[in-house]
């Protein structure tokens, strides 16, 4: 999706398995699935899977607070809502390690600080590219934005399809889970919340759940 975040080298992460150990673990899972890791079509699969994991889980090497803190600028005067909508994200459910694919809508009402809009997309990625549950990811995005930018308010809505629901378990395809977190004026001022919801096309957030 967006450009690559910086990576932590394996040697920097204490206790992290080696690449060989990770590839061996994939061979075990291939055998668990009932296949033979030594057959020709699967010989390079462990290496590919391990490389894919570096992409899927790149978020662990990104500090989301630092991502925003490095880049905000102080402005006075602009006091309208800033919304970045339809930010596609790919995440992985922490219960089954299968994809959660969805869209995030991120908005804030600035105080004195604004941040480049691409940083909002990177913020979403920093939390998406980890093992997640959607509720937690929603809170993490909103709270980080709130803490670093100290805006008048923050609104975050995530809409996503969970492959652990469509390809296993209850096998329900086409189901979208919607989660939201509203802080500051997005929580206390119904007209601010309404404006946000109408900009993002009212994705079914009627009662706003906050934790
Ligand atoms: Zn799951």
The answer to whether residues 112 and 76 touch, using CB atoms and an 8 Å cutoff, is yes
Q: Tens digits of per-residue pLDDT, 83-117?
A: 999 999 999 999 999 999 999 999 999 988 899 88
Q: Tens digits of per-residue pLDDT, 129-180?
A: 999 999 999 999 999 999 999 999 999 999 999 998 888 888 888 889 999 9
In this predicted structure, what is the pLDDT of residue 33? 97
Is 93 annotated as belonging to a binding site?
A: yes
Cα 133 to middle of ligand 1, angstroms: 8
The residue-averaged pLDDT of 52-72 equals 92
Is 164 annotated as belonging to a binding site?
A: yes
Q: DSSP labels for 64-124?
A: HHHHHHTT-EE-SS--S-EEEEEEEEEEEETTT--EEEEEEEEEEE-SSEE--HHHHHHHH
Is 105 annotated as belonging to a binding site?
A: no
The answer to whether residues 128 and 56 touch, using CB atoms and an 8 Å cutoff, is no
Architecture, CATH, for domain 64-201: 2-Layer Sandwich (3.30)
As a whole number of angstroms, the distance between CA 169 and CA 162 comes to: 11
The answer to whether residues 180 and 139 touch, using CB atoms and an 8 Å cutoff, is no
In this predicted structure, what is the pLDDT of residue 12? 58
* Range of lowest pLDDT (11-15, 18-22, 176-180): 11-15
Residue 207, pLDDT > 50, answer no
Instruction: Show which residues are catalytic.
Output: 93-96, 134, 162, 164
Residue 81, pLDDT > 90, answer yes
Cα 51 to middle of ligand 1, angstroms: 22
Q: Tens digits of per-residue pLDDT, 25-58?
A: 999 999 999 999 999 999 999 999 999 999 999 9
Of 106, 121, 109, 117, nearest to 180 (Cα)?
106
Cα 167 to middle of ligand 1, angstroms: 10
The residue-averaged pLDDT of 178-203 equals 95
Residue with tokens 């100290």: 150
Domain ranges in the chain are 19-59, 64-201
Say if 19-59 and 64-201 have the same CATH topology: no
Name the fold adopted by 19-59.
GTP Cyclohydrolase I; Chain A, domain 1 (1.10.286)
As a whole number of angstroms, the distance between CA 65 and CA 148 comes to: 7
Cα 70 to middle of ligand 1, angstroms: 34
């Amino acid at each position: 999706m967006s450009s690559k975040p910086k990576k932590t080298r394996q040697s920097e992460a204490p206790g992290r398995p080696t690449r060989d150990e990770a590839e061996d673990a994939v061979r075990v899972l291939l055998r668990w699935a009932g296949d033979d890791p030594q057959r020709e079509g699967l010989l390079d699969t462990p290496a590919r899977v391990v490389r894919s994991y570096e992409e899927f889980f790149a978020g662990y090497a990104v500090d989301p607070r630092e991502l925003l803190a490095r880049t905000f600028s102080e402005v006075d005067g602009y006091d309208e809502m800033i919304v970045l909508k339809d930010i596609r994200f790919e995440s992985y459910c922490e219960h089954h390690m299968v994809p959660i694919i969805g869209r995030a809508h991120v908005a804030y009402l600035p105080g004195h600080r604004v941040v480049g809009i691409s940083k909002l997309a990177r913020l979403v990625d920093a939390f998406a590219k980890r093992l997640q549950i959607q509720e937690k990811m929603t809170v993490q995005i909103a709270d980080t934005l709130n803490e670093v930018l100290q805006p008048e308010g923050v609104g975050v809505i995530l809409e996503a399809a969970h492959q652990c629901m469509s390809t296993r378990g209850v096998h329900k395809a086409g189901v979208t889970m919607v989660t939201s977190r509203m802080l500051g004026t997005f929580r206390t001022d119904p007209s601010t919340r309404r404006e946000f919801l109408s900009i993002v096309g009212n994705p079914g957030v009627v009662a706003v759940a906050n934790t």
